[in-house]
Amino acid sequence: MNLEIAGNVQGFKQQDGILTIKTAEAEARVYIYSPTIIRVSISKNFNPDDPSFAVIRQPLADFDFDESSANIDITTPALKLSIQKSPLRFNFFTAAGNSLSEDDARFGTNWQGERVICYRRLFEGERFIGLGEKTGNLDRRSAAYVNWNTDAPNHTPESDPLYKTFPFFIGLHSGLTYGLFLDNTHKSYFDFGASTDEETSWFGADGGDLNYYFFGAQGVAKIIEDYTWLTGRMEMPPLWSLGYQQCRWSYMSADEVLNIAQTFRKKQIPADVVYCDIDYMDDFKIFTWNKKTFPKPKQMLDKLKAMDFKLVTIVDPGIKVEEGYKEYDEGIEQDYFAKYPDGENYTGYVWPGRCHFPDFFREEVREWWGAAFTALTQPGVEGFWNDMNEPAAWGQNIPWIVKFGDKFMPEVRNAYGMQMARATYDGTRKIMGNKRPFVLTRAAYSGTQRYSAVWTGDNTGTDAHMLLGQRLVNSLGITGMSFIGVDIGGFSGNPTPELMVRWNSLGVYTPMFRNHAIQGSKMREPWEWGKNNEQIIKKDIEQRYKLLPYLYSSFYQSTQTGLPVSRTLAIEHSFDGNVFDERFQNEFMFGDAILVTPVESTKLTEDVYLPQGSWYRLSSDKFYEGEQIVNVQAPLTDLPVFVKAGGIIPMQSVVQSTNEKGDGILRIHIWNGREANSFIYYEDDGVSYDYEQGVYYKRVISFNPIEKSLSLSLVEGSFKSRFMQLRFVLHGFDGVKLQEEIVENKNGEIEVKL
């Protein structure tokens, strides 16, 4: 095997916003997207189309640079890229000249066959966060990862790769932050000093270009904002999808589905969603219903609707090979399936047996797939669960010679699930008129947040998996994914009742709150755990519903800034070593104000770390100064959850579903603090896209500790709030009479003296 190096710069030119640099072996192109985003792409053989599944922005049309005998320097108001000519190296600095990230002076970028790798300098004390759905520690220093979307049943807290590819990480060193996104769908590699002498980190891919976006903003939140500006942000989800979701592989008949929904209502345990896993279909044929067990889908959906329940149905990519089955016949006729180079359709085995796989990389295939959802939307389904889209085939080894679009499987495998989710989202959005579809996908690539929520696949019912799940959620949040769930209780195995209760209490603070279990496991619904536990689970689910106004506003924040709903403490406290301590690394902020500390089900007290600021325990208002480790009670009835001093949390009364109005009072809770704080409250109809036309209700709630006041700004938008009245609930204001005054929710400015 030859080693080919990039070599020395032989010439360069700038045209159409691209600085092209030539060496004997390769070419590099540099683009500027914003003062904090620079793209570098190095190749021996550029694809003239320059495709990207992830990036939705265009580079600037022009930029300046300076040349000296040794370097070509590009300076933006925030960043300096110094390109060394001999040999070619790319080194990034802050505007003030501090080094952010550098090529390894010895190796830079080079090739072994088609595999391209960039070796970089590892800084002293440098930490790494990100890469999305990756096991291991929050700090990825000394670990190595592979991106290769994989159906990973029975994965362990160490397994790699899992289902998704997000080749984006953030580096932290010397009090500085930078981000790097390798936009390449081939099998890719990231090594954060796992097996070197602490001098080198490296990343690269099995083929394609060494095409990366460098983010130089200071502050992790700002880098996330830039990364999601580049790759897109999620839309407002349908409000119902933020309620409690009950799933199982499978509720086997319409009667069973209805019975589950009825039981929630009878027991007055709030819930919004029930699922149909693969058994609702006729012989696992996608877009069909089993005529015996689900004979009248519309009738079932009408009954669910009358109970304020939504149904989510699963769809897998594998189309059963069976003449007379509409999707098979159409796919064959129109030539819509992935193929071998000789034109033969690729066949793999999945649930239905022999299957062909739609080629979601082609627009006409995506349109065909999207339109087929009428079989589900006509009876009234509004949620679409995209599974097995790594893509999975039994044996997990689709031949590398299979073609998707004009590419072989290894070149685009990592984007297949994303393209399926895109087809599902585009198609259902079109056929559902003005209603928001809910799309959920297992496999994903950077940018998937534009189309779909994700969940973390087939976990196991153990404490270690509960904690791993939280780490995955927190890490996915760094890479633009905000709407994330884990199978609460664990997909495989049978959790103990204690674990089920504990996991459910953590689910309250998980962006997508879904209980799911494998075929053959014990039933998992809230009433399956004994009377006492049922009450605890019910109370926790009620807490989720109370928090919905806060949660919906937190999702709005994700749509605007890309900041995730569940945030590792490393986002705000990036240089606080305790945050990365293995004891505390699973802790996270849920929105701006709530800090959650996951605790194993076997522990009834726990050491938790409270970062800078001061804190109140949510359940008791007990006060703690920050920057200390405290040992707290953690009974199964009371997961340790804290509110930041100055925190503002709008809540509502307990409702049984998001469709219920409740008592019409918005309770604005505020915890006393030394610093001013504000919260952007957002509301809309929760169902339609009217908010895009200004039909929303948005106002800023501000707390001013000096003036001792709480104020609400003028309302922006034309939506009329569901809440007719406001109530202010004060916490930690010694000497102030607990004010529970009710105020009319008027659109003008409102000020309350505390």
Nearer to ligand GLC, 260 or 278 (CB): 278
| Smallest gap from residue 314 Cβ to ligand GLC (A) | 6
Residue 511 C-beta: closest distance to ligand GLC, Å: 17
Q: What's the closest the beta carbon of residue 520 comes to ligand GLC, in angstroms?
A: 11
Q: How crowded is residue 367: how many other Cβ atoms within 10 Å of its Cβ?
A: 14
Q: Which residues contact 737 (CB under 8 A, 6 or more apart)?
A: none
Instruction: Give Cβ neighbours of residue 324 (< 8 Å, ≥ 6 apart).
Output: none
Nearer to ligand GLC by Cβ, of 134 and 516: the residue is: 516
Catalytic residue among 102, 390, 542, 683: 390
Q: How far is the CB of 349 from ligand GLC (least distance, A)?
A: 14
Shortest reach from residue 455's CB to ligand GLC, in Å? 8
What CA–CA distance (Å, rounded) separates 151 from 162?
7
Q: Are 437 and 383 in contact (CB under 8 A)?
A: yes
* Nearest-angstrom CA–CA distance, 320 and 220: 46
The least distance separating ligand GLC from the CB of residue 161, rounded to whole angstroms, comes to 15
Find all residues with CB under 8 Å of 306, minimum gap 6, and list them. none
Assess contact for 475 and 132: CB atoms under 8 A: yes
- Report the residue number, 320 or 516, with the smaller CB distance to ligand GLC: 516
Q: Shortest approach of ligand GLC to residue 246 CB, angstroms?
A: 13
Cβ proximity to ligand GLC: between 448 and 721 the closer is 448
Q: Please, which residue, 173 or 442, has the CB nearer to ligand GLC?
A: 442
C-alpha to C-alpha distance for 102 and 200, rounded to whole angstroms: 10
Q: Give the nearest distance from C-beta 458 to ligand GLC in angstroms.
A: 5
User: Is 387 a catalytic site residue?
Assistant: yes
- Smallest separation, CB 124 to ligand GLC (Å): 42
DSSP 314: E
Which residue number, 502 or 516, has a Cβ lying nearer to ligand GLC? 516
Backbone angles phi, psi at 433, to 5 degrees: 65, -125
We find the least distance from the C-beta atom of residue 491 to ligand GLC, in angstroms, to be: 6
Query: Can you tell me the distance from the alpha carbon of 391 to that of 533, in angstroms, rounded to the nearest whole number?
Result: 39
Please name the residue that has the structure tokens 């589950």: 260
Q: For residue 416, what is the enclosing H or E element?
A: helix 409-431
DSSP letters along 632-653, please?
EE--TT---EEEETT-EEEE--
Candidates 64, 46, 78, 87; CA nearest to 211 is 46
Give the separation between CA 564 and CA 559, rounded to whole angstroms.
Answer: 9
Considering the complex, state which of residue 426 and residue 458 has its C-beta at the smaller distance from ligand GLC. 458
DSSP tag of 463: H
In angstroms, rounded to a whole number, what is the distance separating the alpha carbons of residues 8 and 278? 57
* CB of 685 vs ligand GLC, minimal distance in Å: 31
DSSP 318: P
Nearer to ligand GLC, 458 or 587 (CB): 458
Residue 247 CB, nearest distance to ligand GLC (Å)? 8
Find, among 470, 499, 457, the residue nearest to 155 by Cα: 457
* Chain residue at closest Cβ approach to ligand GLC: 249
Classify burial at 5, counting beta carbons within 10 Å of its beta carbon; exposed 0-12, middle 13-18, buried 19 or more: middle
Nearest CB to ligand GLC, comparing residues 278 and 300: 278
| Residue closer to ligand GLC (CB basis): 316 or 540 | 316
CA atoms within 13 A on the CB side of 575: 9
- Asked if 638 is an active-site residue, the reply is no
Token reading at 1:
């095997």
| CA angle, residues 46, 48, 54, in degrees to nearest 5 | 85
Instruction: Kindly compute the dihedral angle of the four CA atoms of residues 520, 523, 524, 530, in this order, to the nearest 10 degrees.
Output: -140
Chain residues in the site for ligand GLC (CB under 6 A): 153, 249, 277-278, 314, 387, 442, 457-458, 516
In sequence order, the β-bridge partners of residue 15 are 18
Cis peptide before 87 (omega within 30 of 0): yes
Q: Nearer to ligand GLC by C-beta: 249 or 513?
A: 249
What type of residue is 105?
Answer: A
Among the listed residues 209, 226, 327, 458, the single catalytic one is: 458
Nearer to ligand GLC, 155 or 422 (CB): 155
Q: How far is 321 from 35, CA to CA, in rounded Å?
A: 52
Distances (CA, A) of 205 to 115, 683, 713, 723: 6, 43, 50, 52
Q: Which of 102, 209, 272, 387 is catalytic?
A: 387
Extract the runs of DSSP E, i.e. beta strands, from 35-187. 37-43, 66-67, 71-75, 79-84, 89-94, 99-102, 109-112, 115-121, 127-130, 144-147, 164-165, 168-173, 176-182
Give catalytic residue positions: 387, 390, 458
